[in-house]
A and B are shown apart, each in its own frame.
Chain A
Amino acid sequence: MFSEYTATELTAIFAMQGFAGLILFSVLVLMALGLAIIFGQMGVINMAHGEFMILGAYVTYLTSNIFSEFMPSLYEGYFFLAMALAFLAAFLLGILVEWGLIRFLYKRPLDTLLATWGLSLILQQIYRSVFGAREKGVSPPEWMMGSYPLTDLIEVPINGIFVMILTLVIATGVYLLMYRSRWGKQVRAVVQNRPMASAVGINTEKVDRLTFGIGCGIAGIAGSAFTLIGSTGPTSGQLYIVDTFLVVVFGGAQSLLGTIASAFAISQSQSTMEFFLSGSMAKVLTLLFVVGILMLRPQGLFALKIRR
């Protein structure tokens, strides 16, 4: 299948597909980071994670509309405010959900799955009633449009570069938060041994609530970034939820590095194959590959070694 292309064209194809893969990678990482915190650290299966992401996307959409309506001169910078608001909205909703639902179910992980699935149905219907069933697109600010030509054949879109930088910043932030802050230390302590953590004076309820909220907040940011590369509908979140879970499980649920590595592997293999096969076959092969590896190595790529 390579014969009809010249060598330089092939390089360009691989580079462009690789770059497209990097954008997919960024979105997957952003979504998976939140989930890795919630699922990996707390053991809660949040099926509504996609809906938290969509909440962020809708908040971004609303902010951009407000800016273009009332402050067109500041439109160039709306995205940064939108991102902060998206985080805040998803964070608050996350806290509310933890308080109202999740905290009763910590001992029953399979039931959190069903309950959060119910939550996701409700949220989807709310989005549909409020924003309509049609997909909403956000027009990105001027400076994010267009693309940057690297060579004659290779062009990289600027919004893609921006999303990648954003991912890098957020991943670093999460890393610092989890491994270099007092709060992160508490979270890890609670995960490893809940009774002991509470015996040494950690308020485990508060830690749980904050952890869940921050995980959801990161999903909100992911949704905000998502508006730069695609449009948002009430059920867009559901499309990504299985991929995201596979990313987290494949990477080894408790390892942030594993999450990033597996997001990279999945997105790159998918986008490279997409060029040569049909999109659906690329996806099938990628998922099969992941499921196959998981059957051979159930603990994921990077398993955290702790005694239980």
Chain B
Amino acid sequence: MSSRNQIRYFERKDLIGFALLAVLLMLVLPAFLDVFRLNLVGKYLTYAFVALGLVLCWGYGGILSLGQGVFFGLGGYCMAMFLKLESSDPESTAIQSTPGIPDFMDWNQLTELPWWWEPFYSLSFSLLAVILIPALFAFIISVAMFKRRVGGVYFAIITQAIAAILTILIIGQQGYTGGVNGITDLRTLKGWDIRSDEAKTILYFVCCVLLIGCLVLAQFIRRNKVGRILVAMREQEDRVRFSGYDVSNFKIFVFCLAAAISAIGGAMFTLQVGFMSPTFVGIVPSIEMVIFCAVGGRLSLLGAVYGTLLVNYAKTSFSETFPELWLFAMGALFIGVVLAFPNGLAGLFQRYIEPYMPAWYWGKSKQPDPSPPPEPKTPPAETDGPPEIQESNAPTVAKTKKETETETLKGGQYVPAD
């Protein structure tokens, strides 16, 4: 039997997880929340795109990027540029000294549209640009870095510097980008008012569908050979390289994919919230997005969504009641997640709840012995790399090397050969 037929992209428990999330997002929340709150949830969900990208590139690939805000922002700006051009038609901007250009350009004494704004009159170009521009940018960065085997800490610092550069650039070039206020006052999409309650509800559902689509894509990648190699690479990069894989290509792929997913989130953010500004590009938001991913569990696709929702819900309710406590809570969250729960919510779920799940939950995949629950692995300080990562057990490398041996792999879970 060829090994390809044995990859099961969705086990029963994955299906249940995906279905539960879909029901929660598309039925439960819309049924119980008013439009304002639903719009807020939609805004949080756009961050979940970034967190999902981080699960792939940080959790699976081991590449921590502190500049995901850059891609979120680029995607958002591409969308915002289209919407801005549409809302600044000559009639509604007749009071400006140069009608027909965005208001902030007029305030900054620009008399004509810069050439690179021109293509954004087209919706199809803008939608393509939302994905392609950030992906291309990520490609340039990652080729330059990974082909030279720069990784880990250095990559994190350089992506951070890039986030800083882009923020300063956007704020500095006020006439072209709207400066610190960003691109505001976006009204319609092809004549459709995006600020009405109805539009907000529809956009929320579009956002959910896109998010679930990205989740499914990520699940395919995770279960695929690519996902296996990513994990192997994270654990023992040299061994993968010596097995004949070009490690840098896989890193470039996953980084670009993460960038594209984040950019979709950015574009949905612009549509739902109605503006885009450099505050979502810089270092602080980029690192905050890492914490969304870490709280949910850096190895769990669904965890990224729950983590994002939870942290943002906490942030909103904290900052409404005790604004000064929020930074303490956030700081403690960072430290706690790193020291005590490196696998986040998903790790807690896997360790304490999942073992007690009934048989229908597991389906055909192997059910671990419910009693006793799996022992916690070695304490964090004594292991290399992120500890307690379930899928990081040794067989990944062995598998990529000898794919004929997949008899021992059932539905992605390793069964010891003894």
Contact = CB atoms under 8 A, between A and B. Distances in A.
B153 A113 contact: yes
B171 interface: yes
A291 B163 CA distance: 12
A291 B162 contact: yes
Instruction: Give the dominant DSSP class at A's interface.
Output: helix
B384 interface: yes
Given A104-B381, A114-B291, A242-B283, A284 B169 contact: yes
Classify chain B: how many residues form its interface, as a range. Answer: 35 or more
B123 interface: no
A110 B152 contact: yes
A124 interface: yes
B149 to A, nearest CB: 8
Interface stretch (A20-28, A86-94, A115-123, A215-223): A115-123
Contact of A111 (B162, B332, B338): B338
Given A104-B381, A110-B152, A249 B165 contact: no
B161 A125 contact: no
B153 A109 contact: yes
Interface in B138-169: 144-145, 148-150, 152-154, 156-158, 160-162, 164-165, 168-169
A290 B160 CA distance: 13
Interface stretch (B6-14, B113-121, B214-222, B323-331): B323-331
Given A284-B169, A287-B164, A294-B158, A110 B64 contact: yes
Interface in A91-116: 101, 103-111, 113-115
Contacts of B328: 121-122, 125
B386 A298 contact: no
Contact of A121 (B162, B334, B381, B384): B334
Contacts of A124: 327
- In the complex, which of the residues A43, A101, A121, A284 has the most CB atoms of chain B within 10 Å of its own CB atom? A121
Interface stretch (A10-18, A73-81, A175-183, A275-283): A275-283
Contacts of B153: 43, 45, 109-110, 113
A108 B168 contact: no
Given A107-B381, A125-B328, A295-B148, A114 B338 contact: yes
A245 B324 CA distance: 28
A289 to B, nearest CB: 10
B339 interface: yes
B70 to A, nearest CB: 13
B294 A121 contact: no
A33 interface: no
A304 interface: no
A295 B161 CA distance: 12
A291 B161 contact: yes
A71 interface: no
Contact of A278 (B162, B172, B338, B380): B172
Contact of A114 (B144, B169, B290, B383): B290
Contacts of A281: 172
B342 interface: yes
A284 B172 contact: yes
Interface in B300-355: 324, 327-328, 330-335, 337-339, 342
Interface string A115-152: 10111111011001100000000000000000000000
A246 interface: yes
A107 B152 CA distance: 12
Contacts, number: 126
Instruction: Give the dominant DSSP class at B's interface.
Output: helix
- In the complex, which of the residues B157, B158, B284, B291 has the most CB atoms of chain A within 10 Å of its own CB atom? B157
A45 B328 CA distance: 21
Nearest to B165: A287
B165 A101 contact: no
A109 B66 CA distance: 14
A122 B384 contact: no
Nearest to A298: B150
Contacts of A238: 283-284
B34 to A, nearest CB: 32
Contacts of B284: 238
A17 to B, nearest CB: 19
A169 interface: no
A115 B335 contact: yes
Nearest to B326: A125
B409 interface: no
A113 B383 CA distance: 18
B156 to A, nearest CB: 6
A107 B327 contact: no
Nearest to B382: A107
A196 interface: no
A66 interface: no
A280 B161 contact: no
A242 B164 CA distance: 8
B287 interface: yes
Nearest to B386: A108
A149 to B, nearest CB: 34
B165 A291 contact: yes
A122 B324 CA distance: 10
A113 B150 contact: no
Contacts of A288: 165
| Closest CB pairs A-B (n = 3) | A118-B334, A280-B172, A122-B331
18 contacts: A45-B153, A45-B156, A104-B339, A111-B342, A113-B64, A114-B290, A115-B335, A117-B287, A117-B334, A119-B335, A120-B331, A121-B330, A121-B334, A122-B332, A238-B283, A246-B161, A281-B172, A291-B165
Given A107-B384, A122-B332, A245-B161, 16 more contacts: A106-B381, A108-B380, A110-B153, A113-B66, A114-B294, A115-B338, A120-B331, A121-B328, A122-B327, A122-B331, A129-B324, A242-B164, A245-B157, A278-B172, A291-B165, A298-B154
